[in-house]
Chain A
Amino acid sequence: MIALLETLKSNLPFSLLQNTPFLLIERTAQIAYYPNGTSLINRSAIANKLFVIIKGIVEAREDEELIDIYHSNDIFLGIELIKNEPSKYDYIVTEELICYEIPMDTFLKLCNDNQEFKSYFFSTIVERMEMLKEKNDYSSMSDLLIARVDETLLHKICEVEAEMPIIEALQFMENSNSTSLLIKNENGYGIVTDADFRHYILYKEEKNLKTISQIQTYPMISINKGELLFNILLLMTENSIKYLPVLDENNQLLGVLELIDLLSFFSNQSHLITVQIAKAQSLDTLILASSRVEVMVDALYSKGVKSRYIAKLVSEINRKMYLKLFELIIPTSWHNHCGFIVLGSEGRSEQILRTDQDNALIFEDNFIIPDDIKEVTNKFIETLDKIGFPRCEGNIMIINPQWCKSVSAYKKDIDNWFDKPSMEGFMDMAIFVDSITAGGNNYLHTQLLTYIMDKIKEHKEILRHFVKAIDNFDSPLGIFSQFVSHDKAHKNEIDIKKSALFPLVHGVRSLSLEYGIRESNTTLRIKELNNRGFMNKKDATNLMEALEVINTLRVQSQLKQWRRGDKIDNYISVVNIGNLEKDILKEALKTINKFKKLLSYHFHLNTVS
């Protein structure tokens, strides 16, 4: 057999064929060469052959708009041939093409003889992944994610009546070799653990403690069987608890999950880091603990945990870190009168590796901003330097008076964003609406958000201009047509943030503002947009998947940079990623393209100048 056909045979869907069909291909196929700019087939023309690219690039276009891009081993016009339909697009060679041309008759015979081969052409990207042998790599990566709590991880329950004397209960616990006690109250259960006994020993005289129910934690936090272990880890980390009762479908007690077991399951340092942060008494210990987050991310990522869960965990930890920073650095007398907020990607809980920092301080109107404000804020940012947060290039930091002022001063900014719309104003607004309080009085921040939301209700028109920024970058699919970026330092790389992430995040943000959605996280915003009926479940899921794909590729590349000790940026190499990843990314970009179109239609962007 011709060696070229051998390579054909090693790729899907041709790998599904036996030897005899290959003889048919060998007897009928041709290799064709087309120079740049050749139009292979026009829209609505009838195709009479299947194209399989050996080398080169072909673009599918519809009225000059880029719909898809094909590279080595890609196939096109399959569906049209099977359905006997005219071509939907114009196919144009954009990089010298060498390809197989398999005549229609041969192709249809192959389809007829092999159903699996035929259905490949109608399969989705997920189904193609399933077909691939590499499938295993992917499924093993998701083990951790799909792991759910079941009985094997649980400890036996040690249950006592509410009125049982404390010592008796302790004895019972000792005898059954248990580490926690569940207390049966009239209305639900309570829990008693080591910490409660300490309390008992210290205060039994003083508080006249007698029965076990007097020292219980009630109501207790519990979860249902089947919950994702990852969510449980988040829950336990958030609430700093070590014992978690698990209930079945009928809310009957099944057993108790202990943090130590969960941790050994995950064997990462997230809990350790959180504890260290929470316990830190000095800035030095805080810095030490916080700078270990990246190691944890690396470990989690290589275990295949989805990027949105990693992001969730990281922001959980960062939240604790900011809170501690706030307590240690901001003078106590300010605490109730100011709110420390994080904005942008941190505000959306989407930052995984430290690429940036955006933060601000909001003061109560009648609080006189103290004289030592400069020293305090400088110390804050310098500490962030030490932990490893690069400074914000846009200077959105509390050391900038622009982002460290009173509620009414912020309101004035907001008024300006609406009264004198400008690109800078919109960008500030975009960053500001992606924010959460990370320390101090959170009412101040809520107040400002409400102010913005109310303004938007009055000036809906402004959103059309606000969302317009998504048009600043070309169709994200375009990144595949030319791998050459203009920047010499980033040859064969693309800025995935600008070309793919931004349109998605900004679009979702704009819609959330329109719908008055208060969530700051993009995934949660999409879910909420689905709940409010703006988009159906399928579209919402696709959009979340697209976000996931892009973030995963981004983290992957950033971790590489981090391991090498390079500066972390948003560029990813489009050359070094595998074929399947390329396909998945392409699929994600198509989803974003579709979303952009939806936005354009929804906001009538073509009428906005």
Chain B
Amino acid sequence: MLDKIKQHFNRKNLKDKEFAFLFDGVHKDEIVVYDCETTGLNTKTDNIISIGAVKIKGDKILINEAIHIFIKQEEEISHKSITIHQIRNCDLKGAIPVNEAIERFLYYIGNRKLVGYYLEFDIAMINRYIKPMFGITLPNKREEVSAIYFDKKIARIPQGNIDLRFDTILEDLNLPRLQAHDALNDAIMTAMMYLKLQHTRKLN
């Protein structure tokens, strides 16, 4: 209920009616899994370097429709963050301006539900841009993969601490590990986690 009211005001703030489709109910067949690589972990000051996103339809990951957007940086990427995500300045050659990137991303997700690992962060990162651009925050329905994992795991370990690290979940679900820290690979791995969790009733 509260959510609905919030979305109502959110929609009212929308400056560009072209993006009204974001508010059109929820896409029935498809969801989008996405991940951002950023210059740091502060959603107020750090920038997005790349966005990887992939759609899931039924039990299929549509890698043929995946997107991997690289964003032009105002400043050079710091050495510290290069070592983490291994995106060098020269890798951003095909990069596009941030506004263009965000618009492409919005057209891609449409009214689909969003899924991610530590999704809150990735949504906050996107909101940091669309709030000034369009006056709104992302209205899409969302689902957190680590939360689904937690729910299925907690049945087994009622009081236990559940390790929710990305690699731990991946290993526990017996999924192949890809070369990490590339937005698209992370999105695909998250998509595999999501699909597998959809078919798992309880985890051992």
Contacts and interface: CB of A to CB of B under 8 A. Distances in A.
Interface stretch (B81-89, B106-114, B176-184): B176-184
Given A31-B192, A33-B192, A98-B175, A26 B63 contact: yes
A27 interface: yes
B175 A31 contact: no
B145 to A, nearest CB: 14
B12 to A, nearest CB: 39
Given A2-B188, A4-B188, A55 B64 contact: no
Nearest to B182: A3
A2 B196 contact: no
Contacts of B195: 33, 98
Contacts of A96: 174, 196, 199
B174 A31 contact: no
A21 to B, nearest CB: 14
B192 A98 contact: yes
B176 A4 contact: yes
A28 interface: yes
A34 B196 CA distance: 9
A2 to B, nearest CB: 6
Given A33-B192, A33-B196, A55-B176, A2 B60 contact: no
B64 A2 contact: no
A96 B185 CA distance: 21
B101 interface: no
A52 to B, nearest CB: 13
A28 B196 contact: no
Contacts of B191: 31
A55 B179 contact: no
A28 B196 CA distance: 22
A561 interface: no
A123 B107 CA distance: 46
Contacts of A101: 60
B169 interface: no
A288 interface: no
Given A3-B185, A96-B199, A30 B179 contact: no
Interface residues of A, number: 20
Interface string B128-171: 00000000000000000000000000000000000000000000
A34 B64 CA distance: 18
A54 to B, nearest CB: 6
Given A2-B184, A96-B199, A54 B176 contact: yes
A315 B196 CA distance: 54
A32 B61 contact: yes
Contacts of A7: 176
Contact of A30 (B61, B175, B192): B61
A29 interface: yes
Contact of B66 (A2, A35, A55, A98): A2
Contacts of B192: 31, 33, 98
A382 interface: no
Interface in A1-54: 2-4, 6-7, 26-35, 54
A18 B48 CA distance: 33
Most chain A Cβ neighbours within 10 Å, of B61, B188, B199: B61
Nearest to B180: A3
Contact of B179 (A6, A29, A31, A54): A6
A34 B66 contact: no
Nearest to A5: B63
Contacts of A2: 63, 66, 178, 184-185, 188
Most chain B Cβ neighbours within 10 Å, of A26, A29, A98: A98
17 contacts: A2-B66, A2-B185, A3-B179, A4-B176, A26-B64, A29-B63, A31-B188, A33-B59, A33-B60, A33-B61, A33-B196, A34-B59, A55-B174, A96-B174, A98-B175, A98-B196, A101-B60
Given A2-B185, A4-B63, A31-B192, 19 more contacts: A2-B63, A2-B178, A4-B185, A4-B188, A6-B179, A7-B176, A26-B64, A27-B64, A29-B64, A30-B61, A31-B60, A32-B59, A33-B60, A33-B61, A33-B199, A55-B174, A55-B176, A96-B196, A98-B196
- 8 tightest A-B contacts by CB? A3-B178, A31-B61, A33-B195, A3-B179, A35-B199, A3-B185, A33-B59, A32-B60
